Structure 1
Amino acid sequence: MSSTRVVFLLVPKLHLLDLAGPAQVFSTANDLGYGYQLSYVAEVEEIATAQGVPVKAQLHWPELGPDDLIVVPGWRSPRLSPVPPIGPETKQRLRTHHAAGGSVASVCSGADALGAAGLLDGHRYTTHHDLTEELAARYPKASIVRDVLYVVDDRVITSAGIASGIDLALHLVAVERGAEAAARVAREMVVYARRNGDELQDSVMLRHRGHLSDLAHRVQDVIDARYADRLLLAELAHEVGVSERTLTRIFTNATGLTPLRYQQLLRLERAEHLIGHGATVESAARTVGFEDARMLRRLRARTAEPVAG
């Protein structure tokens, strides 16, 4: 598995949780073997945080490729400063990385830095609810999306306030490393994989893991790990020690889906991701477990439940 580098761009008065939340997700994913390298850069060596704890950063940027990610945590901002706290060279770094095929992300007021670099123009984005009007006025060429946890638009990934950075990072792990990886990270961190307000942007795993049924979670663990396999209902029921009827009832009540439908959505989401990265429909169908592309085409055409990818 190739490693993904995640660079956190630190600015003065940053909020610790804006940084620590997504950093913990990617760090935990790396501890579990999913291949993430974390770096912290800034325009000065020591950053004063909004909570009073100073943090150290490096001044030199690591070499980045198109599979890597830059994250800008937010900073204390009851109101936005007249000028975002990043200089011309940093803005150019953000632009260059995105132009080369890389992804950029922000938490809370970090969207202001992306806007200053020109990366919000023509894109949908979100931010903390206290800042939506100011950012909408500051970047009229962009489209603000209110009351959602995060928005993904052409490798510009923005999240709302503070703790939503965790949701954003879990979504990226789900898309890049699979639903099983994100579920393992969420459970290791003892956080709920919460549903996003914008159905077009959340992952299948995030959308259907926000429940308290241990049995349903155990079944999802099996399906997440083996979504490309042919899984019989009897096999799943035996795995968790209940009847097929009981499994279907509990799983459907918890997730809103049958086990088969959940598996199909996982396959569809992964296939969409592969197709978006250049795979043919036929190749993607085989990779995710369909015998041929006909079923995948039918699901793509008729599904009423949007998927990320």
Structure 2
Amino acid sequence: MRLFRHGPPALERPGLFDGSGGMRDLSSVISDFDAGTLSPQGLARLAALDARSLPLLPEGTRFGACTAHPGKIICVGLNYTSTMIELGVPHPEAPSIAIKPSSALAGPDDDITLPHGSTATDWEVELAAVIGTYAKHVSPQRALGHVAGYCLANDLSERDHQRHHGGESVKGRGHDGFARLGPWMVTADEIPDPQDIDLWLEIDGIRIQQASTSDMLWPVAELIAHVSDYMALEPGDVIQTGTPAGIGIAQKPPRFLREGNLVSLGGTGLGEQKCRVVRACNPAQGKDVREADDPIAKRLTRAEWGKTR
């Protein structure tokens, strides 16, 4: 199944695609995708529905983030050898993880709003795994059994905030709209091998990132097992599994998002995201502002940033 959430921001409702590709509203059946509906039993009940009996949604319906209110959005860093090579950093001994707040969620095609004063907002196309059942100290052999489904993610970060604003990477990761999931979640039964997905990202029509999840240093099953040793994974939690080469901080010179950029990304079976970059809003002044470009490349080298992951 392909499951999604639709409607205005903060008022999204659940939906699914029928066998002909029609978008159907699920809100008469479930209130949202939660622990009950993401469980194997809950997904089986949805799969047994006659989707054609559900209300058909009109074309142009907005997609929201495809999972609702995750307790944790876990970000994995340095999980592709190509990324480590372009950053000039050694292979880590274990997966590097960080946390994003759920307030960072946004719809896949919503505008990317640069944070106030941003000079170094970066992109990362990723495969994300959505947890369906409680997992603690699970083995890699059993880890994928805890996955409800997979989706496309753009794991945005403001690199200057990540590196130079107190040493906590969440300051760069946690801005509103910096966790973009969807357009839909594909249930795990339709993706038997999460290490066989092609990912890509383009800026203004130019291909910047292109890789297969087979290039991961730690496969999805090992990531889930590793994370579950340090914290319980609960239904709805999201693990963003790392990004391949082509991120902005690794360009020579570094390149970051600017107002007017069109960001497009996709993954095999996961759909596509397309969104415009818009200027920040200064909450103190209550109006749009445009900060002068900061010579970020002089303050944050690729090797420096790699050490913070």
Q: Normalising by structure 2, what TM-score?
A: 0.26
Higher helix share: 1
Structure holding more strand per residue = 2
